[in-house]
Chain A
Amino acid sequence: MGLAGDAPDGEVVRAVLGGEVERYAVLVRRYRDRYARYAARMLGSLDAAEDAVQDALVRAFDRLADCREPDKFAGWLFLILRNRCYAEQRRRQREGRPLDERDDGVAAADRPDGTFEQAERMQALGRSLGHLTPEQREVFVLKHIEGLAYDEIAGRTGATVASLKMRMHRAYDRLRDLMKEHL
């Protein structure tokens, strides 16, 4: 079937570049939620994450001819989304606006395994992440929320493992200070 949803990324990218624009929907379905959590935790809200993912997917289409390795579309799209998240954070810093308050998560107390204390700590951590630098926040999100190892984060972001660890360790110290009422 020509529009098979399980076609490899590279095949879909080449088809889109060849004029089959509708096949881009395969990539949209495939990646719309995969990076949503990263964007939500980086930007602090579901609305901001949705805007960022949407913009990244449209921008990826506009620049698809620049995708050097179509078989690695996922990593390329991640970099576009990452740039978008960083740009949004820089814009907010210039405007003196903090990250959005968390409005997307289901409070832990509402979850079967949640406790009130755990819910408060989770919300406090969400707020505290907004006080880290974007680089520190990103490494925390990728390691402790997305569950990636340092070498995997290095592969995605282009940073060295040593510099990632340095950012992470500074983030630990900063978070300890910000979270002292909740630990």
Chain B
Amino acid sequence: MSDDDVWILGIHMTKFGKHLDKDLVDLASESVLGALADGGVSMADIEVIGAGNLLEAPNGIGQQLQHQIGQTGVPVYNVVNACATGATALRVAYLAIKAGEANVGLAFGVEKLSGVGMLGGGAPVEAGSEWQPQGRFGAVVGLEGQTGTGTMPGVFGQIGLDYDHRYGGATFELFARISEKNHAHSTLNPLAAHQKRMSLEQIMGDPMVAYPNTRPMCSANVDGASAAVVVRGEKLRTLSLEQRRRAVKISASVLTSDPWQDSCHVLPDVNTITRLAARMAYENAGVDPSDLDLVELHDCFATAELVHYDNLMLCPEGGAVDFFNSGATWRDGSTPVNVSGGLESKGHPIAATGIANIWEIATHLRGEAGPRQIEGAKVGMTHVFGLVSSCAVHILERASA
């Protein structure tokens, strides 16, 4: 192991779901104390903290956590980066280690999202007695529902059918079958918010949110937290055999924003940004898509999962429908995708998602995933994407790989 490689030493996620009796700091503490214990270290060892929370960002969740579990004077970076918030927090700790400022870092993400309604849709316009053009579009009324939609389900509905328009075959039923897969996978994940298998008929018959995504095809708004302790390779060599055996290598850690593409302000281009991150990650890790034993990708909606098969280059360009139809992404397929159940079943507590995905992969690479273990997993990928727009891709490898 090279001196300046960065490794995951400890990692933890809470159960995702409704946590009525726990506040943000309770959930954050549970995940962080879990990650510290998992890594065999304490707050005294942590030299930098990346802290992620979206909805209550101004309150400084990093320091709030320290005030409950350990104030040591180390730098805290409170970060916000849409659905890539947790992954961005992890990258703060990663970069501090790469920069030589720290040997051991902590990152966590936490969100309370139960009962929060649909996200997105843009700002309302103040209603006066006379029409008054406001904002960058000179709008006289709120534009949601007047000039199309900016809500997340609507945007990702359009992204799914845009793929259908370009390549064909991406029908309502196909998207529903992706959701069927993820709900089937979730039955093996005790930390998922929803763990019930759903039939294709149930999924297609459930209330439509924004065509072609029905309710179970949308990520669930739930509470949860996740945390990781990362360590520099040089430091890891001094730790116990058990710590070294369970450590998971971060072979690539990439964060991108959306490069300009024609019409990307009209319909967000989730493809170019993801493809850019994936290409960099494969190159940095020296890994090919065919090397991946499993992938956790950002299925905020069933439609998103399909386009990201393509964007992460798990299939030939334009081939996502055939790729899914081949069975490749089921847990017994050639490239299992979202064996955790994905955001559609596991839930999507926004800032917690980026590290929870890494926890899932790390758990398989350690051979500790129990009944849902992907046997012999050596290399895995995580992907998160948030509007508008941030994308993080990580490639992780088993210590002995």
Do the two chains belong together in a single complex? no
Taking beta carbons and an 8 Å cutoff, which residues of B are in contact with A?
none
